[in-house]
A and B are shown apart, each in its own frame.
Chain A
Amino acid sequence: MPEVKMTVNGKPASGQIEGRTLLVEFLRETLGLTGTHVGCDTSQCGACVVHVDGKAVKSCTMFAAEAEGAEITTIEAMAEPDGTLHPIQQAFQDHHGLQCGFCTPGMVMSAAALLAENSTPTETEVRDYLEGNICRCTGYHNIVKAILAASGQDVSRIAAE
Chain B
Amino acid sequence: MPKDGGIGAATPRREDIRFLTGNGHYTDDINLRGQAYVHFLRSDVAHGRLNKVDTSAAEGMPGVIRIFTGADFEGIGGLPCGWQVTDRFGEVMQEPGHPVLARGKVRHVGDPIAAVVAETYAQARDAAEAIVLDIEELPAVVDMKKALEDGAPKVHDDLKSNLCYDWGFVEENKAAVNEAFETAAHVTSLELINNRLIANPMEPRVAVGDFNRSTGDHTLYTTSQNPHVIRLLMGAFVLGIPEHKLRVVAPDVGGGFGSKIFHYAEEAFCTFAAKALNRPVKWTCSRSEAFMTDAHGRDHVTKIELALDADNNFTAIRTDTHANMGAYLSTFAPSVPTWLHGTLMAGNYRTPLIYVNVKAVFTNTVPVDAYRGAGRPEATYQLERVIDKAARELGVDPIALRRQNFITEFPYATPVAVEYDTGDYHATMDKLEEIADFKGFEARRTASEAKGKLRGLGINCYIEACGIAPSNLVGQLGARAGLYESATVRVNATGGLVVMTGSHSHGQGHETSFAQVVAEMIGIDANMIEIVHGDTANTPMGMGTYGSRSIAVGGSAMVRATEKIINKAKKIAAHLMEASDADIELKDGKFSVAGTDKSVAWGDVTLAAYVPHNYPLADLEPGLEETAFYDPSNFTYPSGAYACEVEVDPETGKVTIERFSAADDFGNIINPMIVSGQVHGGIGQGIGQALLEACVYDENGQLQTGSYMDYAMPRADDVPFYQVDHSSQTPCTHNPLGVKGCGEAGAIGSPPAVVNAVIDALQRSGRTITHIDMPLSPSRVWQAMQG
Does B bind A? Answer: yes
Q: How far is the CB of A81 from chain B (nearest CB, A)?
A: 12
Q: How far is A38 from B29 in the complex, measured between Cα atoms in Å?
A: 11
Is B21 an interface residue when CB atoms closer than 8 A count as contact?
Answer: yes
Is A136 an interface residue when CB atoms closer than 8 A count as contact?
Answer: yes
Q: How far is A100 from B253 in the complex, measured between Cα atoms in Å?
A: 7
- On whether the beta carbons of B716 and A102 are closer than 8 Å, the reply is no
Enumerate chain B residues within 8 angstroms of A39, measured Cβ to Cβ: 202-204, 287
- On whether the beta carbons of B716 and A130 are closer than 8 Å, the reply is yes
- Interface positions, chain A 110-161, Cβ under 8 Å from B, are 123-124, 126-128, 130-131, 133-145, 158-161
- On whether the beta carbons of A100 and B507 are closer than 8 Å, the reply is yes
Given known pairs A100-B253, A101-B24, A126-B716, the reply for A20 and B122 (CB within 8 Å) is yes
Given known pairs A44-B709, A136-B685, A158-B721, the reply for A92 and B20 (CB within 8 Å) is yes
Is A104 an interface residue when CB atoms closer than 8 A count as contact?
Answer: yes
- On whether the beta carbons of B22 and A139 are closer than 8 Å, the reply is no
- On whether the beta carbons of B12 and A94 are closer than 8 Å, the reply is yes
Enumerate chain B residues within 8 angstroms of A93, measured Cβ to Cβ: 12-13, 16-17, 20
- On whether the beta carbons of A134 and B22 are closer than 8 Å, the reply is no
Enumerate chain A residues within 8 angstroms of B508, measured Cβ to Cβ: 99
- On whether the beta carbons of A134 and B21 are closer than 8 Å, the reply is no
Is B684 an interface residue when CB atoms closer than 8 A count as contact?
Answer: yes
Q: How far is A141 from B718 in the complex, measured between Cα atoms in Å?
A: 11
Is A103 an interface residue when CB atoms closer than 8 A count as contact?
Answer: yes
Can you show 8 pairs from A to B with CB atoms below 8 A apart?
A45-B202, A76-B22, A83-B21, A98-B20, A101-B20, A101-B24, A137-B202, A144-B716
Q: How far is A101 from B254 in the complex, measured between Cα atoms in Å?
A: 6
> A29-37, A51-59, A63-71: which lies at the B interface?
A29-37
Question: Residues on A close to B: CB < 8 A?
Answer: 18, 20, 29, 33-42, 44-45, 47, 74-76, 78-79, 83, 85, 89, 92-94, 96, 98-105, 108, 123-124, 126-128, 130-131, 133-145, 158-161
Enumerate chain A residues within 8 angstroms of B286, measured Cβ to Cβ: 41
Ranked nearest first, the 5 interchain pairs of A and B with the lowest CB-CB distance are: A35-B22, A139-B684, A101-B19, A100-B507, A102-B254
- On whether the beta carbons of B684 and A138 are closer than 8 Å, the reply is yes
Give a binary string over B673-684; 1 marks a CB under 8 Å from any A CB, 0 the rest. Answer: 111110011111
Enumerate chain A residues within 8 angstroms of B708, measured Cβ to Cβ: 40, 42, 44-45, 134
Given known pairs A35-B21, A99-B681, the reply for A143 and B716 (CB within 8 Å) is yes
Enumerate chain B residues within 8 angstroms of A18, measured Cβ to Cβ: 122
Q: How far is the CB of B278 from chain A (nearest CB, A)?
A: 23
- Interface positions, chain B 1-34, Cβ under 8 Å from A, are 10, 12-13, 15-24, 26, 28-29, 31
- On whether the beta carbons of B716 and A78 are closer than 8 Å, the reply is no
- On whether the beta carbons of B719 and A85 are closer than 8 Å, the reply is no
Given known pairs A99-B255, A99-B509, A133-B716, the reply for A47 and B16 (CB within 8 Å) is no
Give a binary string over B253-267; 1 marks a CB under 8 Å from any A CB, 0 the rest. Answer: 111010000000000
- On whether the beta carbons of A134 and B715 are closer than 8 Å, the reply is yes
Assuming A45-B708, A140-B714, what are 11 further A-B pairs, CB within 8 angstroms? A35-B24, A38-B284, A85-B20, A94-B12, A100-B203, A100-B254, A102-B203, A123-B721, A136-B684, A139-B683, A144-B721
Enumerate chain A residues within 8 angstroms of B22, measured Cβ to Cβ: 33-36, 74-76, 78, 105
- On whether the beta carbons of B287 and A40 are closer than 8 Å, the reply is yes
Contact of A138 among B122, B287, B680, B713 (CB under 8 A): B680
Enumerate chain B residues within 8 angstroms of A101, measured Cβ to Cβ: 15-16, 18-20, 24, 252, 254, 507
Is B201 an interface residue when CB atoms closer than 8 A count as contact?
Answer: yes
B288: nearest chain-A partner, CB-CB: A41
- On whether the beta carbons of A161 and B507 are closer than 8 Å, the reply is no
Q: How far is A105 from B203 in the complex, measured between Cα atoms in Å?
A: 13
Is B200 an interface residue when CB atoms closer than 8 A count as contact?
Answer: yes
Q: How far is the CB of A136 from chain B (nearest CB, A)?
A: 5
Q: How far is the CB of B548 from chain A (nearest CB, A)?
A: 15
Q: How far is the CB of B672 from chain A (nearest CB, A)?
A: 6
- Interface positions, chain B 193-219, Cβ under 8 Å from A, are 200-204
Q: How far is A124 from B716 in the complex, measured between Cα atoms in Å?
A: 9
**For this complex, into which size category does the number of interface residues on chain B fall?**
35 or more
Enumerate chain B residues within 8 angstroms of A136, measured Cβ to Cβ: 200-202, 255, 257, 681, 684-685, 713
Given known pairs A45-B202, A99-B507, A131-B716, the reply for A34 and B16 (CB within 8 Å) is no
Question: Residues on B close to A: CB < 8 A?
Answer: 10, 12-13, 15-24, 26, 28-29, 31, 122, 200-204, 252-255, 257, 284, 286-288, 506-509, 672-677, 680-685, 687, 707-709, 713-717, 719, 721-724, 746
Q: How far is A124 from B721 in the complex, measured between Cα atoms in Å?
A: 11
- On whether the beta carbons of B746 and A102 are closer than 8 Å, the reply is no
Enumerate chain A residues within 8 angstroms of B719, measured Cβ to Cβ: 139-141
- On whether the beta carbons of A37 and B203 are closer than 8 Å, the reply is yes
Enumerate chain B residues within 8 angstroms of A40, measured Cβ to Cβ: 287, 707-708
Given known pairs A101-B19, A136-B685, the reply for A127 and B202 (CB within 8 Å) is no
Q: How far is A73 from B389 in the complex, measured between Cα atoms in Å?
A: 55
A25: nearest chain-B partner, CB-CB: B121
A36: nearest chain-B partner, CB-CB: B22
Enumerate chain B residues within 8 angstroms of A34, measured Cβ to Cβ: 22, 26, 28-29
Q: How far is A100 from B21 in the complex, measured between Cα atoms in Å?
A: 13
Enumerate chain A residues within 8 angstroms of B680, measured Cβ to Cβ: 138-142
Q: How far is A40 from B84 in the complex, measured between Cα atoms in Å?
A: 35
Q: How far is A100 from B714 in the complex, measured between Cα atoms in Å?
A: 17
Q: How far is the CB of B713 from chain A (nearest CB, A)?
A: 5
Contact of A130 among B19, B717, B722, B724 (CB under 8 A): B717
Q: How far is A1 from B81 in the complex, measured between Cα atoms in Å?
A: 47
Enumerate chain A residues within 8 angstroms of B687, measured Cβ to Cβ: 139
Enumerate chain B residues within 8 angstroms of A35, measured Cβ to Cβ: 21-24
Enumerate chain A residues within 8 angstroms of B682, measured Cβ to Cβ: 139
Given known pairs A100-B255, A136-B200, A136-B202, the reply for A161 and B672 (CB within 8 Å) is yes
Q: How far is the CB of B753 from chain A (nearest CB, A)?
A: 14
Q: How far is the CB of A107 from chain B (nearest CB, A)?
A: 10
Given known pairs A100-B253, A139-B683, A139-B684, the reply for A127 and B716 (CB within 8 Å) is yes
Q: How far is A108 from B19 in the complex, measured between Cα atoms in Å?
A: 11
Q: How far is the CB of B601 from chain A (nearest CB, A)?
A: 31
Given known pairs A42-B287, A142-B680, A161-B676, the reply for A75 and B707 (CB within 8 Å) is no
Enumerate chain B residues within 8 angstroms of A83, measured Cβ to Cβ: 21
Enumerate chain A residues within 8 angstroms of B203, measured Cβ to Cβ: 37, 39, 100, 102
Among B12, B715, B746, the most chain A Cβ lie within 10 Å of the Cβ of B715
- On whether the beta carbons of B202 and A103 are closer than 8 Å, the reply is yes
Contact of B722 among A37, A75, A103, A141 (CB under 8 A): A141
Q: How far is the CB of B277 from chain A (nearest CB, A)?
A: 21
Q: How far is A83 from B284 in the complex, measured between Cα atoms in Å?
A: 31
Contact of B707 among A41, A94, A158 (CB under 8 A): A41
- On whether the beta carbons of B28 and A38 are closer than 8 Å, the reply is yes
- On whether the beta carbons of B287 and A100 are closer than 8 Å, the reply is no
Contact of B677 among A33, A94, A124, A142 (CB under 8 A): A142
Q: How far is A98 from B507 in the complex, measured between Cα atoms in Å?
A: 8
A106: nearest chain-B partner, CB-CB: B202
Contact of B709 among A42, A92, A102 (CB under 8 A): A42
Enumerate chain A residues within 8 angstroms of B15, measured Cβ to Cβ: 101
- On whether the beta carbons of B255 and A102 are closer than 8 Å, the reply is yes
Q: How far is the CB of B568 from chain A (nearest CB, A)?
A: 36
Among A45, A98, A126, A144, the most chain B Cβ lie within 10 Å of the Cβ of A98
- On whether the beta carbons of B685 and A139 are closer than 8 Å, the reply is yes
Q: How far is A76 from B19 in the complex, measured between Cα atoms in Å?
A: 10
Among B16, B713, B714, B719, the most chain A Cβ lie within 10 Å of the Cβ of B16
Enumerate chain B residues within 8 angstroms of A160, measured Cβ to Cβ: 676
- On whether the beta carbons of B723 and A159 are closer than 8 Å, the reply is yes
- On whether the beta carbons of B722 and A131 are closer than 8 Å, the reply is no
Given known pairs A41-B288, A102-B254, A102-B255, the reply for A89 and B20 (CB within 8 Å) is yes
